[in-house]
Amino acid sequence: AQKVTQAQTEISVVEKEDVTLDCVYETRDTTYYLFWYKQPPSGELVFLIRRNSFDEQNEISGRYSWNFQKSTSSFNFTITASQVVDSAVYFCALSEAVIQGAQKLVFGQGTRLTINP
Amino acid sequence: DTGVSQNPRHKITKRGQNVTFRCDPISEHNRLYWYRQTLGQGPEFLTYFQNEAQLEKSRLLSDRFSAERPKGSFSTLEIQRTEQGDSAMYLCASSSTNYGYTFGSGTRLTVV
């Protein structure tokens, strides 16, 4: 069965520090997608990134970067020079194919990130 | 593109009452999903629609839960005879092809 593990329940850092959120997944599928979402206190899940299982290139978007390593089944997320506005719960998710090409997401338990001024 | 809209944002109900939530997806998205998120957990899949057809249901969706998507547009999720264990955030998402989901802001249900 699909499984996503985010071992870090809570992380607290001081503003401007770099922080890495870990994500480890389990799947028997050869084709899958990995996602990161941000959930601020308002509750909405904000899409950050989707990564195809065949694309192991790291990606950088501003202060955000993602490290996908298929050999260790990990998809870690790093925030550089963190800011107070980055405070949120972050979820890693793995897609699971369902009927007619749709996908349902299997989420980890989330990491609560607090950036202190 | 106005995003995925969910109503109401909050609902407080007494145990045993019925409640209904509504989700309006992004208009060009033919796929619609419902998830449930309890406190401190990640969202869990409940059910999926392609157009008006409900194609998959999770075992989490007991017979007190029913979802519809008439005409393949908006969707409703009804919970009958609510229990305290139903208290959660109910999230709706929509997508087209295989691109990443867009989630709504959710409906937070509190059963007292």
Please confirm whether the linkage preceding B43 is cis (ω < 30° from 0). Answer: no
Residue of A nearest to B34 (CA): A104
Mean pLDDT per block of 10 residues along chain A (117 residues) reads: 94 97 94 92 89 85 93 96 97 80 87 97
How much is the pLDDT for B106? 94
**CA dist., res. B42 & res. A111, Å (int):** 10
Query: What average pLDDT score do residues B14-40 get?
Result: 94
Interface test with B, best of A44, A52, A111 (most B CBs within 10 A): A44
Contacts of A103 in chain B (CB under 8 A): 95, 98
Residue of B nearest to A36 (CA): B100
Query: In this prediction, what percent of chain B has a pLDDT beyond 70?
Result: 96
Q: What is the mean pLDDT of chain B?
A: 92
Summarize pLDDT for B42-91 with one digit per residue, the tens.
999 999 998 888 888 888 888 999 999 998 899 999 999 999 999 999 99
How much is the pLDDT for A43? 86
DSSP A81: S
